[in-house]
């Protein structure tokens, strides 16, 4: 992605709340799906404290590309994503003009909706969901818990590892998490028992939304992988670690993961992220080079995104206390494999990716403890409780806890942008 007029740091919007907004200045223009009282789901873009109804402006002839205008009449982003990267870039350019040029204000302003009067929906119909394992620090830390003698399996540095997740249980930020129940087996027990999970965890991940798909049997070359990414978001792949420890061999995650995955509602486009992308960090000395099909592509393919995880307990909310930051870090420092490598590998056997599919990066942990992306790591698998400022402690999540993921991009010469929130509160188990 190259920089253009939409990235100009001097560009201003006539929307009063946009200029200087910490997340939604005119340089961002994310895509999402929202609804309001009495109206169904529509596609929109965030601008300051407002959402521009893109269906409405398309129906009034303000979007010149007929295919794009038709896709904006949908209730999800799949049809728009299917049009490809060029169409997405053209839409961004058009919205930038409409929201910055005073000449368009009279015809556009009536279609702005107050953000606090809306309810956000899933941005796509998620046909498929694959979760990867690109965070090498997390993979090593978790491996030490489940395989102390062999934490990082030998294929990790050759293969972008992933598993097929459950698309039906993906929900947008704010949807509550019902504590899952399942089989667990204590190390000294002869047989397992079924009970509510006592080791409920979050996972700090980034979402990769697929744009233009590929035909069955046709791989995606690494040089073209970026053109198949429609955007990025935040993802919390909630995990029941006690269920996971018993069930994960020999076929990997199942009931420990598929009860809920939470995504942030706004899709941050690759065009918006262009000023913040970085080269991938060099692999450590002695690590193998990626195989040729995973080598090459865009030079700046690492996500320059600052990530944070915040926790509030029921007691903290009752007392009006601020959230406690569990961790912070940079996505590019955690990722051993890039988003482009993940896309290329997924399609390398001819698997057909489809517009609106969701890929997860896997947990993004930093090398240092203050950047660990899960409680499993922070609490040393439950052996070292985390002390909260109000005197409470946590090893894993308790009922009433709320976890919020946030992200922000900053770079010299660029206007900072945000991702919005990816939040969920834990409710007691049922049944």
**Residue 101: CB atoms within 10 Å:** 12
Task: Report d(CA 409, CA 100) in Å as an integer.
Answer: 22
Tell me the β-bridge partners of 367: none
Instruction: Considering the candidates 111, 138, 228, 346, report the single residue annotated as catalytic.
Output: 138
Give the residue carrying structure tokens 């090398």.
367
DSSP-based three-state secondary structure for 375: helix
Residues 6+ positions from 312 with CB-CB distance below 8 Å: 321, 323, 324, 401, 402, 404
DSSP-based three-state secondary structure for 429: coil
| Cβ 33 vs Cβ 72: under 8 Å | no
| Cβ 301 vs Cβ 244: under 8 Å | no
Query: Is residue 146 within a helix (H) or strand (E), and if so which, with residue range?
Result: helix 136-146
Our CA angle for 136, 359, 289, nearest 5°, is 40
Helices (H), ranges, 30-171 = 54-59, 66-71, 78-82, 85-100, 105-108, 136-146
Tell me the β-bridge partners of 386: 394
Active-site residue, 138 included: yes
| Cβ 135 vs Cβ 334: under 8 Å | yes
Q: Read off φ and ψ for residue 223, nearest 5 degrees.
A: -65, -20
DSSP string, 163-210: EE--GGGEEETT--EEPPEEEE--TT-SS-EEEE-SSEE--EEEEEEE
| Cβ 316 vs Cβ 324: under 8 Å | yes
Q: What is the largest CA-CA distance in the chain?
A: 75
Residues 6+ positions from 65 with CB-CB distance below 8 Å: 87, 90, 91
Active site positions, annotated: 138
């Amino acid at each position: 992605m190259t920089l253009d007029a939409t990235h100009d740091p001097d560009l201003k919007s006539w929307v009063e709340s946009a200029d200087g907004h910490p997340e939604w200045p005119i340089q961002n223009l994310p895509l999402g799906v929202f609804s309001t009282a009495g109206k169904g789901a529509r596609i929109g873009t965030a601008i300051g404290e407002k959402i521009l109804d893109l269906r409405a402006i398309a129906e009034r002839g303000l979007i010149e590309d007929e295919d794009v205008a038709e896709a904006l009449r949908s209730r999800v982003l799949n049809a728009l994503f299917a049009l490809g990267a060029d169409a997405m870039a053209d839409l961004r350019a058009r919205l930038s003009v409409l929201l910055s040029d005073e000449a368009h204000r009279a015809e556009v302003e009536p279609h702005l909706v107050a953000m606090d009067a809306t309810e956000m929906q899933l941005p796509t119909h998620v046909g498929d969901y694959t979760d990867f394992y690109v965070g090498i620090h997390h993979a090593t830390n978790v491996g030490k818990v489940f395989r102390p003698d062999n934490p990082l399996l030998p294929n990790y540095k050759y293969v972008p590892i992933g598993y097929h997740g459950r698309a039906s249980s993906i929900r947008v930020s704010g949807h509550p998490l019902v504590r899952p129940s399942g089989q667990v087996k204590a190390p000294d027990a002869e047989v397992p028992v079924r009970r509510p999970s006592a080791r409920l965890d979050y996972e700090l991940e980034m979402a990769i939304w697929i744009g233009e798909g590929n035909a069955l049997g046709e791989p995606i070359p690494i040089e073209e992988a970026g053109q198949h990414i429609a955007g990025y978001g935040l993802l919390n792949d909630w995990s029941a670690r006690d269920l996971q420890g018993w069930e994960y061999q020999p076929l990997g995650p199942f009931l420990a993961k598929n009860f809920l995955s939470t995504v942030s509602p706004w899709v941050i486009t690759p065009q918006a992220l262009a000023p913040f992308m970085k080269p991938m960090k060099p692999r450590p000395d002695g690590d193998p080079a990626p195989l040729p099909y995973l080598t090459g592509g865009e030079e700046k393919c690492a996500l320059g995104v600052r990530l944070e995880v915040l926790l509030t307990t029921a007691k903290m909310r009752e007392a009006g206390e601020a959230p406690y930051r569990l961790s912070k870090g940079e996505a590019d420092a955690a990722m051993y494999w890039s988003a482009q490598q993940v896309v290329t590998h997924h399609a390398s056997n001819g698997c057909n990716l489809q517009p609106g599919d969701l890929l997860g990066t896997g947990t993004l942990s930093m090398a240092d403890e203050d950047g660990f992306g899960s409680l499993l790591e922070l609490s040393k698998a439950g052996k070292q409780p985390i002390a909260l400022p109000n005197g409470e402690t946590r090893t894993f999540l308790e009922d009433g806890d709320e976890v919020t993921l946030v992200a922000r991009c900053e770079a010299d010469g660029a206007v900072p942008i945000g991702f919005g929130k990816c939040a969920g509160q834990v409710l007691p188990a049922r049944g």
